[in-house]
A and B are shown apart, each in its own frame.
Chain A
Amino acid sequence: MSKGTVENPQRVEAEEPLPNGMSSNPQSAIRNPQSTISPNQKAWRRFRNNRPAVISAWFLLFLVFAVIAWPIILSVTSHSGPHGKAFAIQYDPNTLTDNVFAAPSLQHWFGTDVHGRDLFSRILFGAQVSLIVGTVGASVSLVIGVLWGAIAGYLGGRWDDIMMRIVDVLYSLPSIIFVIVLITTLEEYVKRWFDTINSPQLSHLTRLGFLFIGLGAVSWLNMARIVRGQVLTLRRRAFVEASLTLGAKHRHILFQHILPNVLGIVIVYLALTVPAIILYESFLSYLGLGIEPPMASWGSLIAEGAGQINTVRVYWWLLAFPGAFLVTTLLALNFFGDGLRDAWDVRGDK
């Protein structure tokens, strides 16, 4: 039994820990003609061999395309009446009809909900919100996490200790409580402010904005840890010292030399943060603290479906379809993120 002698043969070729062509041994390219392809190309090759990740990537692309294309189709095709349409994509997600709790059929692919709205269009409508919250929230977490981690790693010493200690403390607190407190307290404040400057559209979007900021603000901890670890090792590299000797300013080094080199890892962890934020958002929407009706997200749709559970009749489609979409998307995002991580061979070191 010789199990586990070679843990992962794919790893062997990944000799350098850094992405972006920062080969640790520049000589090797000359000596070994095999490695004339750049590390990025190698990683890309590894990624393409990872079938679940590739399928997930196509699925996500298709979903994004559907989410973008669907409102356009909706606005182009006329929606004359609520009945008799053969294509479910033509239903408006906010039009109320009397055709409530219709089971899935050719007209309504996923059935209709408590207000007679077409569930298929509701789900695509919710996908918009869920995906936007996921990506924007992850971007917010990226900005905070990268800056925090890069500064802590670059300064080092006592500042590093203090900053990472704060991360440790925050890591073990129930962050969602802080989002709830943040949303419930400051929202009213901002809403009033928007009302005073007379912009009701903005005041409608306050909740969405708070979701972006709040969820981003609690999801940056992993990113900060990873970036800090990378920056700590980068900082001691010869090219940084050379740059310092030439009289470069710290800001120049941080933004010109160090941040471009952590970019690959950051993108990988961005891909892994998106599903976490989508999950958070669905939690909040479920509790009624997220997206407000008539807007929808997958979380709020599932909440609506769960609210209709009774022992007499089971409207399974209200629960099954939004749930299936949420789970499939999370699955795809996780496979995709894992695939990226394995291909670029980055590990989150504490």
Chain B
Amino acid sequence: MYFIRRLILSIPLLLVITFLSFGLLHLAPGGPFDRERKPASPEVERNLARKYHTDEPFWKQYLRYLGVGFERDAQGKIHWFKDGLIRGNFGPSLIYRNHTVNDIITEGLPVSLPLGFMAFGFAVGVGLPVGFFTAVQRGKFTDYAGSFFAILAVCIPGLVMGPVLIVLFAIHFRWFPVALWESPMHAVLPMIALGLYFAGRIARLMREGMLNVMNSEFVTAARAKGMSETTLLLKHAVRIAILPVVSYSGPLLADLLTGSFVIENIFCIPGLGTPIVNSSLSRDYPVVVGLVILYAALLIGMNLLVDLAYMALDRRVKYE
């Protein structure tokens, strides 16, 4: 029930996000056509404005973008908007004229999404074991080495790690390709550069979670009853200790997507990062708004999944 309500609640949230991003971009001076043909003739300008409806009042543009409402033509006949967001159409790009926003998304998303998930997998795959072992081996050399690795990973941002990886492993040793996105080998360096920071974050959270759990009464009770240390740690402690990591995954995914802009830029990966930066610089409104909505929708969906996972792991939590 709770999740159905959350799903329904996310619709007005998305509407607010579309309105804010649409409004903010239209508030700004300077249109998308400013940069080309500087002394554009008034006719050209008027035609461009008419074609892309930038001459209409703001509310009408917004409704047209959503695809809700109608307009009257010269004869007073009513035309309902046939396009728009509710029909899954993000509109045209104003700069890349032969591309719609949907084209940009269908080209970029199959690149950005796998990269994001691989980096997430890398972060979890490295972070969880490191956090686990540093907590179990508390105070020993493993702990110091692992904890130092974790804090170091948090302090090396992707924009430092990426170029360093390129210079070392692509140019010096020539083990991996330098850039682009073609074979699985191409994905290794970007995955590490993007995921390392989050591996560090996860390791630190996991360590803290494990330390808290190992102090709790049920662990002492289980030890007193003679449960083997391995079963105790792997079957019972991890389950609780992982909860902070699970609840961090929501913001983590948001950060991961953000971090991927830089990584895509470094490795010349044709994902969604480059379009979002370029289009907001060149005021390509539909692209920016479309991508912002896409990211917001993705994240809302992911957060819902994170909450589901949280509930599955911790039976004490009940969402009302």
Contacts and interface: CB of A to CB of B under 8 A. Distances in A.
Given A3-B214, A173-B299, A174-B254, A331 B167 contact: no
A302 B277 contact: no
Contact of B276 (A177, A314, A330, A335): A177
Contacts of A176: 258, 261
A302 B276 contact: no
Interface string A157-194: 00000000000010111111100111011101100100
B27 A185 contact: yes
A177 B151 CA distance: 26
Given A3-B138, A327-B160, A173 B254 contact: yes
A286 interface: yes
A33 interface: no
A275 B197 CA distance: 13
Interface in B140-168: 151-152, 154-157, 159-160, 162-164, 166-167
A286 B295 contact: no
Contacts of B156: 327
Contact of A185 (B28, B162, B265): B28
A180 B276 CA distance: 9
A22 B27 CA distance: 49
Nearest to A221: B251
A326 B154 CA distance: 12
A292 B266 CA distance: 19
Contact of A331 (B155, B171, B178): B155
Interface centre among A175, A180, A282, A288 (most CB of B within 10 A): A180
B295 A177 contact: yes
Nearest to B162: A306
Interface in A326-346: 326-327, 330-331, 334-335, 338
Interface string B216-235: 00010000000001000000
B183 interface: no
A177 B29 CA distance: 19
A7 B214 CA distance: 8
A136 interface: no
B61 interface: no
Contact of A7 (B159, B211, B303): B211
Given A177-B295, A181-B25, A282-B157, A311 B178 contact: yes
Nearest to B139: A3
A184 B155 contact: no
A299 interface: yes
Given A185-B24, A299-B159, A286 B262 contact: yes
B251 A331 contact: no
A302 B160 contact: yes
A60 to B, nearest CB: 14
Given A184-B283, A188-B29, A283-B258, A303 B160 contact: no
A289 to B, nearest CB: 7
Nearest to B140: A3
A192 B34 CA distance: 15
B95 interface: no
A306 B30 CA distance: 31
Contacts of B162: 306
Contacts of A1: 229
A148 to B, nearest CB: 18
Nearest to A303: B159
B136 A3 contact: yes
The 9 closest A-B pairs by CB, nearest first: A185-B28, A4-B214, A330-B155, A306-B163, A323-B160, A176-B258, A184-B280, A331-B155, A7-B215
